[in-house]
Amino acid sequence: MNFATPLFLFFFLLIFGLRWILPRLKFLPEWAPKPFLLAGSYFFYMAWNPKFGLLLFGTTILDYWIGRKMDQKEGRSRAILLSISLVLNLSVLAFFKYFIFFMQSGNAVFSAFGLNLSLPVWRIVLPVGISFYTFQSLSYTIDVFRREILPEKNFWNYALFLSFFPQLVAGPIVPAKTFLPQLKTWVTWKELPLREGLVLVLIGVWKKVVIADQLSILPDSFYRSPLEFSSAYAWAAVFAYSLQIYCDFSGYTDIALGSALLLGFRLTENFRMPYLASGFSDFWRRWHISLSSWLRNYLYIPLGGNRKSEPRTYINLFLTMLLGGLWHGASWNFVVWGGFHGIFLGLERLGKKFWPGSFSPENKSGILGRFSYRIFVILAVVLCWVFFRSPNWKTTGIVFEKLFGFSSGADPALSSLRILFIAFFLFFAATWIGNRDEKYGSFRKFYEGLHPVLFGILVGVGLLLGAVFSSESQPFIYFVF
């Protein structure tokens, strides 16, 4: 997937240039730039594997047709149409993403009972971004069914909504109600938030190439052969991965959001300083916001949310997080990761019921308790990443033995520790700036107030320094989901 970065840059520059040129050609209609953006998005996606462009186009045709048909039907017919969308989309996703997982799990179950049945296990290539665009397309048909939005009448607008290349392969999952209205009017060049977009791209590049790729050395070495390393190395690797996955994924999101802004579109926020979370529910309001919002709106609430009995609420929470874990990948490690988060969310809800106000940031009487709970939450989140990163159950077991067994082995090199400490420093500094900017907007005021020439020089120097301090290029972690 290393091809994606230069290809992304090429298409962004091409379409950004067209975005600037085409509106100035007076003989072209207002919608003229959209076909270039659509064609570029499909070419970008099909450069990886042309066959899967047909799969994306098939999903587009299906749900566009479903939406239009729903507009003509009432009652049970609408429910049948929604069921067709759900069954076909989820069946395609299940086949490509989970077929091997289900077959291998079935063979393991049969073997455990002494049955020598061998279910077929085929080698299936996972289409990049299928989890993201499937959920995005389902958000459209569900919202049309609920009459929260009107069906999109322009097929090519819907095709662009589903294939928009900045967020196509790794999100964020943009609801139809957020993106489709932006296609009704083409933002003029003067209205583009150029500075905000460039700053987001710059921040995303630094998160990815300066922090995440540098940090990858520790967890990659450790998880490859954990028995060779000491407990100190294990803890360093686990904390390094917790920073790596955040900087890697949020870095991609920042680049996607910034690129979209420069093309005239505002996507949904996906991260909001998650490691400042005051609890597990707060963490999921800050981490992968587009997925957690999708799970809440289209899974947790339809299951009954907290409108049913108290036991049913806990079951709904657990099932939602369990399926959220499975969404990330075809592995029991992901299921367990999601299950633990479901358990933590349930226990936190139970605690708030019996000790109301104890978990509230406004409660000034329990500052030490709230601080201790925050530390516990972040430590639990960090340890849960072990399930997310481990390639198999055996490795997971060894990692936890290393973490809590205080065993000997190779200690982290001074250079690796230096990278980890620098990354922590950059992370805390960026979090402080981000937290301050969220409250007072001081960072935004700073770069918005700069002279255009000075702003351009600073952005250029920032990108140059990012290239200088970058490590060997690593694939984006969420490209495999």
Contact (Cβ atoms closer than 8 angstroms) between residue 136 and residue 173? yes
Q: Count the neighbouring beta carbons within 10 Å of the beta carbon of residue 79.
A: 12
Tokens of 253: 């999101």
Mean pLDDT of the chain: 82
**Cβ density class 230-252: b for 16+ within 10 Å, e for less:** bbbbbebbbbbbbbbbbbbbbbb
**More reliable by pLDDT, 403 or 3:** 403
User: Given 288, 328, 341, 451, which residue is catalytic?
Assistant: 328
Locate all alpha helices (DSSP H) within 206-309, ordered by sequence. Answer: 213-215, 217-224, 231-262, 280-284, 289-295, 301-303
Once rounded to an integer, what is the mean pLDDT over residues 427-431? 79
CA angle 191, 192, 195 (to 5 degrees): 125
Tokens of 227: 């028995």
Rg (CA), the chain: 24
Confidence of residue 304 (pLDDT cuts 50, 70, 90): confident
**More reliable by pLDDT, 479 or 204:** 204
- Residue 276's pLDDT is 87
Confidence of residue 350 (pLDDT cuts 50, 70, 90): confident
- Residue 142's pLDDT is 94
Q: Which of 114-128, 166-180, 284-298, 307-321 has the highest mean pLDDT?
A: 284-298
Helix (H) / strand (E) containing 268: none
Bridge partner residues of 410 (DSSP): 229
**More reliable by pLDDT, 274 or 121:** 274
Q: At residue 293, does pLDDT exceed 70? A: yes
Q: At residue 159, does pLDDT exceed 90? A: yes
Contact (Cβ atoms closer than 8 angstroms) between residue 465 and residue 209? no
Q: Which of 27-36, 71-80, 243-252 has the highest mean pLDDT?
A: 243-252
- Residue 363's pLDDT is 55
Share of the chain above pLDDT 70, in %: 84
**Measured distance CA(473)–CA(475) in Å, rounded:** 7
CA angle 215, 220, 223 (to 5 degrees): 130
Confidence of residue 2 (pLDDT cuts 50, 70, 90): very low
Q: At residue 362, does pLDDT exceed 70? A: no
Share of the chain above pLDDT 90, in %: 25
Task: Assess whether 288 carries a catalytic annotation.
Answer: no
- Residue 361's pLDDT is 52
Once rounded to an integer, what is the mean pLDDT over residues 399-419? 82
**Measured distance CA(233)–CA(252) in Å, rounded:** 28
Tokens of 69: 């048909």
Q: What are phi and psi of 149, to 5 degrees?
A: -135, 160
Once rounded to an integer, what is the mean pLDDT over residues 24-53? 73
| Backbone CA torsion sign across 270, 181, 198, 164 | positive
Contact (Cβ atoms closer than 8 angstroms) between residue 271 and residue 292? no
Alpha-carbon dihedral 271, 276, 279, 281, rounded to 10 degrees:
-10
- Residue 409's pLDDT is 78
Bridge partner residues of 229 (DSSP): 410
**Measured distance CA(88)–CA(68) in Å, rounded:** 17
Tokens of 265: 């579109």
Q: Is 156 exposed, middle or buried (0-12, 13-18, 19+ CB in 10 A)?
A: middle
- Of 244, 272, 269, the residue nearest 257 (C-alpha): 269
Q: At residue 311, does pLDDT exceed 80? A: yes
**More reliable by pLDDT, 452 or 364:** 452
Confidence of residue 64 (pLDDT cuts 50, 70, 90): very high
Once rounded to an integer, what is the mean pLDDT over residues 118-127? 68
- Residue 140's pLDDT is 94
Q: Is 343 exposed, middle or buried (0-12, 13-18, 19+ CB in 10 A)?
A: middle
SS3 156: helix
Confidence of residue 3 (pLDDT cuts 50, 70, 90): very low
204-254 pLDDT, tens digit each:
888 888 888 888 888 988 988 888 888 888 899 999 999 999 998 888 899
- Residue 1's pLDDT is 41
Contact (Cβ atoms closer than 8 angstroms) between residue 179 and residue 256? no
Q: At residue 277, does pLDDT exceed 80? A: yes
